[in-house]
Amino acid sequence: MEKIAGHRLQEWLDRMTNRPIKGAAFGAVATALIQSSSLLMVTMIGMINANLMTLEQAIGVMMGQEIGTTLTAQIIAFKVGDFSFLFIALGLGMMEFTSKRSWQRLGEVILGFGVIFVGMQTMSGALKVLATAPAAQEWLAYMGQNYLSGIIAGTIATAVIQSSSAVTGLIVAMGISQIITLPGAIALILGANIGTCVTGVIASLRLSPASKRAAIAQILHNGIGVLLFLPFLSPFAALVSETSSSLPRQIANAHGIHNIVVSAVLFPFIKTIARVSERLVPKTQEEEKPKLTQHIDESQYRFPNVALTEARHELYRAGKTTAEMIILSRQAILEGDSEAAQRVRELESQTVNPLCGILEGFLNELMGEDLSEDQERHCYHLIEMTTDVERVSDLTDDLVQIAQGKIKPNALLDPQMIKEIDKLFHQAHRTYTLALHAVRDNDRDVAQLACLMEDEMDRKYWKSRKRHAKRAKSGKVSPETDQLYNDILRNLDRISDHADSLGISVMRD
């Protein structure tokens, strides 16, 4: 499910979080579908860092995702163990015998559910044996009476396993085996809600203040939710017991009711939670400085699809800067604009080169993770495209050096040469910009169009070279002018070549 939705999460979040209620609804639906609140959290942290999402918007989504996580328990509570191997067989069949990638991914989802159901059966059987041990019986009985011990146990278990869904599944399995009481199960679930926050805090320690605020907001939300229910846990358990005669279903219902009620009660206080989080993690001087990177973050390594999507957005940012540098280098050469030349040098040394270096390091680190074959290929192509963007930056810097160092009074370009160079500047810029759009949208059709435009650039380049060769042969061009003209054209042709390389990488991906 992460593979299917991971690369689109940011796009969906951007569309659906302009209002808190829409954000909460999206958080609930997205988490229920992809079964990973952590994936959603990591994507939101990246968007907060890039100033594409506010903390308040993220909190709204968080409240929704707390509701979405309850679907896991509801699914597990169904007694579908008899059909688990049917799910596995169907999933494997779709993965092996269908050619469409979407059907293969769906097969992976069905296989995953089958394995979960087999795991639940196995755990239930093992827990029945474990429950016969006197020590286990004593501990379970104590936890059913002392709710605080159950909350602590649930917190520790979730912090160690790093998955509240896994702990919730284990609790439901205990219910299937009839080795735990409903109040004890509710206490463990409340602890799991806190434990999942501990995981977020640990993950945010080495990350930006924005990610720390998001982790604090989650602690406030889940912690307040536990405190609200703790004094009323016994009557709450009695109420939930009326919803079903099946203990596993009662546990799943308790989980759902608790998370829905807490999110509904705290929803009007989103701004307050955001303000408290910002007060607890105030802005630092370092944070107020403009950052080179806006999208990539170390936390994304856990979710390669998200990391690759954010790396693509970062690459497009670098590409937009180099496209601007092409325009500036034209102004420096054809208009003698010294400020434009200086701006190109600054962008090359202070923005594009360091940004591409960081991005390449990020992608190389990601290559060391456990990636699928598709993800490895995608990562490799992004590294190639990063090199192309960096080379375009170098070429614009070379053009500026030509403008600053080689244009002398006896090597001035005549109006016809200026007209030819101007046309090639515009053609190179259009081709490169189109290739960047293909990179941004991962659009093969646009990439193919960029490659066709590069073919047109080649025709114009050689036509200009032949025309200039005739001028040089007639003796109307000085050696300095000849070198200047050819140097400019060669650099523009190489810029267009890198645009073509970007397009080819997109089409191969």
Distance CA 204, CA 282 (A): 15
Residues 223 and 330 in one domain: no
Residue 250: inside a domain? yes
Residue 397: inside a domain? yes
* 454 CA to centre of own chain: 32
Residue 292: inside a domain? no
Residues 306 and 276 in one domain: no
CATH of the domain at 350: 1.20.58.220
Residue 115: inside a domain? yes
Give me the phi and psi of 231, to 5 degrees please: -65, -20
Residues 263 and 372 in one domain: no
**Among candidate residues 494, 492, 356, 503, the one with its CA nearest the CA of residue 426:** 492
Task: Let me know: does 35 contact 21? Beta carbons within 8 Å.
Answer: no
Residues 315 and 264 in one domain: no
**Among candidate residues 10, 7, 1, 6, the one with its CA nearest the CA of residue 58:** 10
Residue 496: inside a domain? yes
Residues of the chain with pLDDT under 70: 1-18, 34-39, 42-43, 46, 49-52, 79-82, 120-121, 123-133, 136-137, 140-141, 143-144, 199-200, 203, 206-207, 284-290, 299, 405-412
Q: What pLDDT, on a 0 to 100 scale, did the predictor assign at position 226?
A: 93
Distance CA 202, CA 197 (A): 9
Per the rule left: phi > 0, alpha: psi between -120 and 50, beta: everything else, 214 is alpha
Residue 118: inside a domain? yes
Residue 319: inside a domain? yes
Task: Let me know: does 338 contact 332? Beta carbons within 8 Å.
Answer: yes
Given 282, 317, 334, the domain boundary residue is 282
Residue 293: inside a domain? no
Residues 278 and 303 in one domain: no
Q: What pLDDT, on a 0 to 100 scale, did the predictor assign at position 489?
A: 93
Task: Let me know: does 316 contact 346? Beta carbons within 8 Å.
Answer: no
Query: What are the helix (H) ranges across 78-163?
Result: 84-97, 101-130, 134-145, 147-161
Residues 271 and 319 in one domain: no
Given 248, 282, 316, the domain boundary residue is 282
Given 257, 282, 307, the domain boundary residue is 282
Distance CA 36, CA 238 (A): 30
Q: What pLDDT, on a 0 to 100 scale, did the predictor assign at position 39?
A: 66
Residues 165 and 310 in one domain: no
Count up the domains in the chain and report the number. 2
Contact residues for 187 (Cβ-Cβ < 8 A; gap 6+): 143, 147, 148, 149, 150, 151, 153, 154, 233
322-341 residues labelled b (16+ CB within 10 A) or e (exposed): bbbbbebbbbbbbeebeebb
Residues 258 and 319 in one domain: no
37-54 residues labelled b (16+ CB within 10 A) or e (exposed): bbbbbbbbbbbbbbebbe
Residues 146 and 240 in one domain: yes
Distance CA 61, CA 47 (A): 13
Residues 240 and 318 in one domain: no
Residue type, 235: P
Residues 243 and 380 in one domain: no
The C-alpha R_g of the chain, in whole angstroms, comes to 30
- 3-state helix/strand/coil string of 88-103: HHHHHHHHHHCCCHHH
Task: Please tell me the pTM assigned to this model.
Answer: 0.68
Which residues constitute the domain of residue 31? 2-282
Residues 275 and 326 in one domain: no
Instruction: Find tokens 């769906």 and name the residue.
Output: 106
